């Protein structure tokens, strides 16, 4: 018997002994995780089922059980209600969230890059103030923002919702972490030696290195602005400027006088999820890379 044979025999499992699977202690964990996942998915399932029902089925059948399929009719009624005002709300949300997230991500990248690369007096104090901004709830800033925009007669305008949305202390915090992890100082110094200006270095070097991570900042910002409700509620009175969240809220508040709006509100809520899902699916490859970008500093 050779040494190799003895070694293989030593590590071979005993005949007739079953392989050990997950321990019994893991079963309760799996059950708990399944219950939590079901709890999270239950509202989504209810929304999907409810959006396919007619108004009569919605009030006469159990909420979690399907009924006759009326999704096509509901969508047609949704898009034709009030001369297609829902499509306008959806477009407003895309403008607020899409443009706002892009501009907010660029501003956060610039701030995070500056706080990482440039050493100036009070840098850590500035960063501490930004971190403090993360802890301030949006409800605490709503009234001061309204009074500020009212002073310049800018309430009930696109800018009263757009401008506050592009400021993201959390985005600046993430951008600084990503910049510190992905931009070597040697690369910046080499670019300066080659004669590149600071703006050129940021635009051609820093943004490219940070781009996977900035997708994460963009997605966070997009979802936050898309779901924003309190700020538009305070700032806007013109229905044509409403985002989809505020528009659906106004419909829901009128269901006692117009019961058919209950079905349209549910269908509208389902449709409003589609842009977020599409955005995540399109950017998920970059998003996964971005999540890991700040985990390890080389």
The whole-number pLDDT of residue 288 equals 61
Question: What is the domain extent for residue 170?
Answer: 77-293
CATH of the domain at 113: 1.10.3720.10
**What total of structural domains would you count in the chain?**
1
pLDDT in tens, 16-43: 555 555 556 788 889 999 999 999 999 9
pLDDT in tens, 212-251: 889 999 999 999 999 999 999 999 999 999 999 999 999 9
Q: What is the mean pLDDT of the chain?
A: 87
146 domain residue, yes or no: yes
Using CB atoms within 10 Å of the CB of residue 103, give its burial: 0 to 12 exposed, 13 to 18 middle, 19+ buried.
Answer: middle
For 141, residues 6+ apart whose C-beta sits below 8 A from its C-beta are 164
Nearest alpha-carbon partner for 269 in 62, 75, 83: 75
226 domain residue, yes or no: yes
167 domain residue, yes or no: yes
- Can you give the length of the chain in residues? 298
pLDDT in tens, 141-155: 999 999 999 999 999
Nearest alpha-carbon partner for 109 in 24, 217, 266: 217
Task: Judge whether 170 and 134 are in contact, CB under 8 Å.
Answer: yes
166 domain residue, yes or no: yes
41 domain residue, yes or no: no
Separate counts of helices (H) and strands (E) for the chain: 16, 0
108 domain residue, yes or no: yes
186 domain residue, yes or no: yes
The whole-number pLDDT of residue 149 equals 96
52 domain residue, yes or no: no
């Amino acid at each position: 018997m050779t040494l190799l044979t003895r070694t293989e025999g030593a590590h071979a499992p005993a005949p007739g002994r079953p392989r050990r699977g997950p321990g019994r202690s893991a079963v309760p964990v799996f059950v708990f995780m399944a219950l939590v996942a079901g709890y999270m998915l239950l509202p989504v399932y209810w929304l999907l089922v409810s959006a396919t029902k007619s108004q009569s089925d919605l009030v006469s059948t159990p909420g979690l059980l399907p009924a006759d399929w009326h999704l096509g009719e509901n969508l047609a009624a949704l898009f034709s209600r009030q001369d297609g005002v829902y499509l306008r709300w959806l477009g407003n949300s895309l403008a607020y969230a899409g443009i706002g997230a892009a501009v907010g991500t660029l501003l956060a990248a610039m701030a995070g890059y500056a706080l990482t690369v440039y050493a100036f007096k009070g840098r850590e104090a500035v960063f501490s103030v930004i971190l403090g901004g993360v802890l301030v709830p949006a409800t605490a800033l709503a009234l001061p923002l309204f009074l500020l925009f009212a002073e310049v007669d800018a309430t009930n305008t696109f800018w009263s919702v757009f401008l506050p949305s592009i400021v993201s202390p959390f985005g600046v915090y993430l951008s600084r972490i990503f910049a510190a992890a992905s931009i070597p100082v040697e690369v910046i110094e080499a670019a300066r030696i080659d004669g590149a200006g600071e703006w050129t270095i940021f635009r051609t070097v820093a943004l490219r290195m940070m781009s996977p991570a900035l997708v994460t900042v963009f997605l966070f910002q997009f979802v936050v602005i898309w779901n924003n409700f309190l700020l538009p509620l305070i700032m806007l009175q013109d229905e044509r400027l409403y985002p989809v969240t505020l528009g659906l809220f106004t419909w829901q508040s009128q269901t006692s006088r117009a019961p058919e709006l209950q079905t349209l509100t549910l269908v509208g809520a389902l449709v409003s999820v589609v842009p977020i899902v599409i955005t995540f699916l399109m950017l998920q490859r970059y998003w996964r890379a971005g999540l890991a970008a700040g985990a390890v500093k080389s």
